[in-house]
């Protein structure tokens, strides 16, 4: 299954200057719980934004047209999302973790969206998540969380499933 995982604000903003918009420890913990033991696919800039490089206990795949494998220690490198997905086993759980252009490419291929919808609007953002077509994607779970002493913004973990097209 291909799952897209992202944290977005009220206007679908993802990041600014290759950084997350909000610091939500609960979201980071949620991300780790969902992706550990699975394959994560990301663009070059997303990999470069990871403070310690490749994420442990996951198969890390980086998409780049110009990079060399040695530039991405602990990760496999592919030139396209189709090449990366072709390297995966049929039953492999695959998480697309960013950035914006990778989300755009993966959206038509994904079966599930795991979004952290943040109840705030970023002051500045230069990367946005694609528009979610509610005729294609149906919400199936929502877990609301209020702001607290560790998470400054209220947020919800929201899961969407792609609807089967009628024949």
Of the candidate ranges 56-60, 79-83, 162-166, the one whose mean pLDDT is the lowest: 162-166
Strand ordering across the sheet containing 19-20: 19-20, 13-16, 127-128
Q: Are strands 59-63 and 112-118 parallel, antiparallel or unpaired?
A: unpaired
Interacting residues of 139 by C-beta distance below 8 A, sequence separation 6+: 158, 159, 160
| CA distance to 37, 56, 83, 132, 139, per residue, from 165 (Å) | 31, 37, 26, 16, 16
pLDDT of res. 166: 46
pLDDT of res. 132: 93
pLDDT of res. 69: 75
- pLDDT surpasses 80 at 13: yes
> Which residue's structure tokens are 């602990």?
74
The pTM of this model reads: 0.94
């Amino acid at each position: 299954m291909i799952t897209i995982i992202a944290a977005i604000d009220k206007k679908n903003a993802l990041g600014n200057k290759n950084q997350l918009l909000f610091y939500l420890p609960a979201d980071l913990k949620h991300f780790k719980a969902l992706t550990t033991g699975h394959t994560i696919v990301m663009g070059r800039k997303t990999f470069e934004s990871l403070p310690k490089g490749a994420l442990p206990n996951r198969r890390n795949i980086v998409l780049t047209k110009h990079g060399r494998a040695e530039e991405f220690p602990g990760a496999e490198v592919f030139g396209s999302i189709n090449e990366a997905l072709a390297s995966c086993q049929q039953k492999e759980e695959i998480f697309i973790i960013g950035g914006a252009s990778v989300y755009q490419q993966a959206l038509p291929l994904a079966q599930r969206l795991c979004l952290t919808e943040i109840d705030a609007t970023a002051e500045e953002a230069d990367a946005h998540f694609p528009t979610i077509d509610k005729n294609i994607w149906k919400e199936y779970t929502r877990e609301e969380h209020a702001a607290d002493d560790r998470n400054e913004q209220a947020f919800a973990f929201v899961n969407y499933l792609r609807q089967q097209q009628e024949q």
